[in-house]
Amino acid sequence: MAELALNRDQYLELEKIGLGAFHPLDGFMGQRDFDSVVAEMRLGSGAVFPLPVVLDLSEADAERLRRSGEVALTFEGKVVGRLQPDDFFRPDRGHAARHIFGTDDASHPGVAWFLGLGPVFVGGRVELIRRAAFDISADELTPAETKALFQQRGWRRIVGFQTRNVPHRAHEYLQRVALEQADGLFVQPLVGRKRAGDYTPQAVMRGYRALIGPFLPADRVVLGVLSTVMRYAGPREAVFHAIIRRNYGCTHFIVGRDHAGVGNWYGLYDAHELTRRFDGELGIEILRLHGPYFCPVCDGIVTERTCPHYGTAATRQISGTDMRRILEGGTQPDPRLMRPEIVAALAGTKLFIEE
């Protein structure tokens, strides 16, 4: 049987497909699904699916596999899965990027990643034989595990929360809003390939362990990572993140300010608009929340819906980027913006991903 050695990103995608995290996908996309996803945000079947999930190949591997039947997928010498290749294709990447990311400018980290994939994509059904065992894998729950856990706890209304940051007070505010209405909260930090300057998975998990229990009720919050590539596709990725959390058993999903955005590529509430287009079709309800900020007049974390001072010089937006910059500089963040206990929990761990 032909073999194909996967890189880490590809292995994680295989694993997510195999575990059902990308349901209804049961394999890597062929051209029909790919084209339809790029143009319409739907699979060929019509099911909403906003981002491509592809297996990229070098020219040499494509040539070799074209002549074979079933392919053994390997990682570091071990067989981890199988692929039934049924479609080899070369998409127009610039065209696809403009649809997916709204730009083909390679200074956008998602575009750079997408344009850097191998020249040929192969579609076909996959089977996962061996789960990944990276340092982050111990903190990962499968969709079957989270669904069992939610059921065991008697939760019916479960809110999913996507993050790639050490929690600051604005995150906590959104989580408390969710907990007011839901039986439980599933915090699922994305820990796949990110860009230099993003938090390490270890920092994010340490931050959350200092929050859940000491400040949020541990019996109402589940924490588990999601290991997949961060695409930085803004609104489309918000829809993707919602579909994934549906597959983990969540009934609701929080989309806040600039979800999965990067730099100034997307409008702050573009993701609210795009998710609205698919209301009733996603199998999960979107909680569209506004970005909380600190207001010294109200003296607390508020949103533009609850505070009349929005946009005045006194209010302070709490952005993940700003908090990262403060921590990077080695100074203590304002305790009104990030809990000192969380900052203390980060001591001695590598905070940021390097080039």
Could you list the residues that contact Zn ion (CB under 5 A)? 295, 297-298, 307, 309
Closer residue to Zn ion, CB minimum distance, 283 or 291: 291
Catalytic residue among 163, 228, 247, 303: 163
Closer residue to Zn ion, CB minimum distance, 67 or 305: 305
Q: Show the tokens assigned to 167.
A: 């929690």
Using alpha carbons, list the distances in angstroms from residue 102 to 98, 113, 254, 319: 5, 14, 23, 23
Q: Least distance to Zn ion from the beta carbon of 174, Å?
A: 17
Alpha-carbon distance 205 to 202, whole Å?
5
Classify residue 249 as left (phi > 0), alpha (psi -120 to 50) or beta: left
Active site annotation includes 165:
yes
Using alpha carbons, list the distances in angstroms from residue 20 to 42, 106, 127, 205, 351: 18, 31, 11, 23, 31
Alpha-carbon distance 170 to 107, whole Å?
28
Catalytic residue among 82, 164, 206, 257: 164
Q: Least distance to Zn ion from the beta carbon of 295, Å?
A: 3
Alpha-carbon distance 97 to 95, whole Å?
5
Closer residue to Zn ion, CB minimum distance, 295 or 337: 295
Active site annotation includes 164:
yes
Q: Least distance to Zn ion from the beta carbon of 294, Å?
A: 9
Closer residue to Zn ion, CB minimum distance, 310 or 352: 310
Q: Least distance to Zn ion from the beta carbon of 170, Å?
A: 14
Using alpha carbons, list the distances in angstroms from residue 35 to 27, 133, 336: 16, 33, 47
Q: Count CB atoms within 10 A of the CB of residue 283.
A: 14
Catalytic residue among 146, 165, 247, 251: 165
Closer residue to Zn ion, CB minimum distance, 223 or 307: 307
Q: Least distance to Zn ion from the beta carbon of 169, Å?
A: 15
Instruction: Tell me the β-bridge partners of 74.
Output: 5, 79
Alpha-carbon distance 66 to 224, whole Å?
38
Annotated catalytic residues are 163-165
